[in-house]
Structure 1
Amino acid sequence: MGEHETATILIVDDEPGLADGYAARLQGHDVRTTYDGQEALDALDEEVDIVFLDRRMPGLSGDEVLETAREQGFDCRIVMLTAIEPSVDIVSMGFDEYLRKPVDRDELRGTVQRMLERAAYDEKLQEYFSLSAKRATLETESDGDVEGTPAYEELCRRLEAVERELDEALEDLPDDDGYVVATDDRTRADSATD
């Protein structure tokens, strides 16, 4: 999707004023708002591209909504948008990005753009970005010392393994030197005729 195409976005927050405020900031997109976890699952379908999901809600929590959505095979990007300080529990969660409230219009719209771009990536690259987002979130947003914890160390090992797989995939790509040389030759020929 390009920068000006519309996305279907589901905003889930038990504070209606916040959910509606986020929706207003995303004008130009098809935005659905729900105010609890069960409503979110009912509103989630194959048309949804991105979900902004609060973690702490009465009844069905955002964590449970996330887990159910992934179990049911929904292939949308899920952004946790929450006031909860992250801890190593996020390592096993299947989200794509973690934002701490409050977020402004530019951050919200920038996140939408990143998620739309990532949707075009293959699974390995999506996994890489998800793991990278978790590590960055833990390193910048967590007050507790997460380094050295088993979950954090496992996250780092998984990220390194995915990076190696991506590096190996890049090494297997055909060499484009012929294209570069041809382009350089054409550039030199164009310069000679000027």
Structure 2
Amino acid sequence: MSDTPSVLIVEDEPDLADLYAAWLEEECRVRTAYDGAEALDAIDETIDVVLLDRRMPGLSGDTVLDTMRERSLDCRVAMVTAVEPDFDIVEMGFDDYLVKPVSGDELVDVIDQLLLRSTYDDQLREFFALASKKALLDDQKTAAERQSSQEYAELEDRLAVLRVRVDDTMQELLAQDGYRQLWRDIAGESFETE
């Protein structure tokens, strides 16, 4: 992911799609697609976030989402739709859901949140990969061998730095009201943030 996020807006009302694009163009590289087929042609590995309308003629947002997930595209998806959520959303592969009408600030906020979650996911993936390597070396090498290894010392340093980054990103996520409630739901009602 580059410093400037790439966002694909999928909205069958061109005026609304263009409005969203105008709201986001200063902070994001924006592409628009005015129907589901156009969205599937436009989506690729360079897209960081998709803002996806759910109810569109032709290919629905649900179908576009399913196809994106089948293609294993590594991007975040926020449904931005007039469709009130129902229990059918449980099995859907989106990351967030906004009910129209939405403001420019809401779109910027959801993009920021989704990008932060991506950063956290990447950090966790790297942390667990490094922790797994350290555990293997701890099991297979003697303390003396580990102590004399420059590679092992660098691994320990990388883990320590990454642990701080993961904790910082977690705190940043928890600072956002929606995520504070999410963590309470995950951890149970007794969860308290600092």
- What's the TM-score, normalizing by structure 1? 0.62
Alignment RMSD, CA only?
Answer: 3.3
Dislocated runs of 4+, deviation >2 Å = none
More relative contact order, 1 or 2 (CA 8 Å, 6+ apart) = 1
**1:121 Cα shift?**
2.2
* 3-state SS, counterpart of residue 79 of structure 2: strand
Match of 1:16 in 2: 14
Greater Cα shift, 105-114 or 14-23: 105-114
1:134-157 CA deviation, whole Å, 9 max, x = no partner?
Answer: xx8xxxxxxxxxxxxxxxxxxxxx
- Take 1:15 and 1:112, find their aligned partners in 2: how far apart are those partners? 20
1:82 paired with 2:84, answer no
- Take 1:8 and 1:71, find their aligned partners in 2: how far apart are those partners? 21
- Take 2:7 and 2:51, find their aligned partners in 1: how far apart are those partners? 8
Structure 2: 5+ residue stretches without partners: 125-172
**1:112 Cα shift?**
1.1
Match of 1:192 in 2: none
Matches within 5 A, 1:22-171: 22-28=20-26, 29-122=28-121, 160=186, 163=187
- Take 2:95 and 2:79, find their aligned partners in 1: how far apart are those partners? 8
- Take 1:53 and 1:122, find their aligned partners in 2: how far apart are those partners? 22
1:54-78 CA deviation, whole Å, 9 max, x = no partner?
Answer: 0000000000000000010001000
1:45-102 CA deviation, whole Å, 9 max, x = no partner?
Answer: 0000000000000000000000000010001000000000110000000000000011
Amino acid at match of 1:65: V
Match of 1:184 in 2: none
- Take 1:61 and 1:42, find their aligned partners in 2: how far apart are those partners? 14
